Amino acid sequence: MLYIPGNNPAMIQQAGVYGCDAVLLDLEDAVALNQKDAARILVRNMLKTVNFYDTEVCVRVNNFHTPFGLTDLEEIVPLQPDNIRFPKTETVADVKEFMKEVRRIEKEHGIKNPSMTIHVMIETAKGVANVYDIATADPRIDAITIGGQDLTADMGIIKTPDGVGIDYARKRIVMAGKANDLDVLDTIFADVNDDEGLREETEYIKKIGFAGKALINPRQVDVVHEVFNPTENEVRKAYRVYSEYIKNKKAGIGVFAIDGKMVDAPVVQRAITVLEFAKIDLKEIEKNAG
């Protein structure tokens, strides 16, 4: 997910062409206080006019405890971007208050079946402590994300390249997300010239369960995709696992072996995940296996 400052028209109009899966149009931290109104108006108009192609569009509004949060919602919710991100979420009450306003605005604009989902962002120690409850606070939450910069500031620590200071928070947030079937997205990697550092960090967060990563420059897109996209060998292996699973299932066999290694339900589930990442049609495999 590529972060784009909400007051940068040149970047917003190109947001859909960088090849990222999602863009976040930011009204919060990337926008100076004296630019908040301009950014809100710009993002509102860009949502109406710019073709983002198949890139998912998320708008990060300002927190409710600022003078801008409610006005942001009044302008953005009627346009129903794919998601709205609620920053610095700390408690269930925060979510309830936020969603109450979202639903009021949708009702006032006659939006009966809202498509917009909610991303909650955990950026304080209190938020980390409450993350399980936050994750279940509203059914429209479909992603949860960690804000590393604000979190380290809140904790009074420095964000180091090894990420050790936020490691617990990362893992706790992943568990909260996984427990509730939510996508979990990692924080930004600030050095846009350090591709290797970005690759290492992305490989790590992939291993511990994140589904994606926030980016601050389009040049980071390819590195993150390379890490998350399954390799050709992984896809081949997953194809074989799923294909054999279908054949065995028809024969009433639940657990079987490939090349001497046991294949059970979790292995099959991981294979399905790989195939879905690779955009391979499972039905086609089922047909061929049949």
Partner 1 sequence: MKNAIGVEIPEYIEGLGKLEPFQGVWKSIIEDEVPSTNISRTLKAKKPHASKLCKTLEEAIKKCKPFDGMTVTCHHHLRGGDGVLMKAIQILDEMGIKDITLASSSLTSAHDGLVPYVEKGMITRIFTSGIRGALGDTISVGKLKYPAIIHSHGGRVRDFLTGRIKPDLSVLAASAADEEGNATGAHGPSAFGSMGYADIDARYSRNVIVVTDNLVEYPCIPSTVRQHFIDYVVKVDSIGDATKIASGTTRITNSPMDLRIARIAATVIEHSGLFKNGMSFQVGAGGASLAVAKFLREDMKRKSIIGSFMIGGVTSYGVDMLNEGLFHSIFDVQSFDAAVSSSVLNNPNHIEISCDQYANPNNCGSMTNKLDVVVLGALEVDVDFNVNVITGSSGEIRGASGGHSDTASGANLTVVVCPSFRGRLPIVKDRVHTVVTPGESVDVIVTERGVCVNPAKPNLAAKLKEAGVKVVDIRDLKEEVEKMTGIPAEKQLGDQIVALVEYRDGTIIDVIYNVKNLS
| Interface positions with partner 1 (CB under 8 A) | 13-14, 17-19, 49-51, 217-219, 222
- DSSP secondary structure code for residue 63 in this structure: P
Say if strands 256-258 and 261-263 run parallel, antiparallel, or are unpaired.
antiparallel
Nearest CB to partner 1, comparing residues 48 and 261: 48
Cα 31-142-61 angle, rounded to 5 deg: 20
Q: Minimum distance between the CB of residue 207 and partner 1, rounded to whole angstroms?
A: 23
Closest CA to 249 of 211, 290, 277, 221: 290
Nearest CB to partner 1, comparing residues 54 and 181: 54
Q: Minimum distance between the CB of residue 4 and partner 1, rounded to whole angstroms?
A: 11
Phi, psi torsion values for 142, nearest 5 degrees = -125, 0
Closest CA to 47 of 85, 91, 77, 86: 77
Instruction: Provide CB contacts within 8 A for 132, sequence distance 6+.
Output: 175, 176, 179
Quick one: which H or E segment has residue 42?
A: helix 36-49
Q: Minimum distance between the CB of residue 222 and partner 1, rounded to whole angstroms?
A: 7
Nearest CB to partner 1, comparing residues 50 and 99: 50
Nearest CB to partner 1, comparing residues 2 and 144: 2
Q: How many CB atoms lie within 10 A of CB 13?
A: 14
Nearest CB to partner 1, comparing residues 18 and 239: 18
Nearest CB to partner 1, comparing residues 115 and 231: 231
Report the b/e string of 51-73 with b at 16+ CB within 10 A: ebeebebbbbbbbbebebbebbb
Q: Minimum distance between the CB of residue 219 and partner 1, rounded to whole angstroms?
A: 5
Q: Minimum distance between the CB of residue 218 and partner 1, rounded to whole angstroms?
A: 4
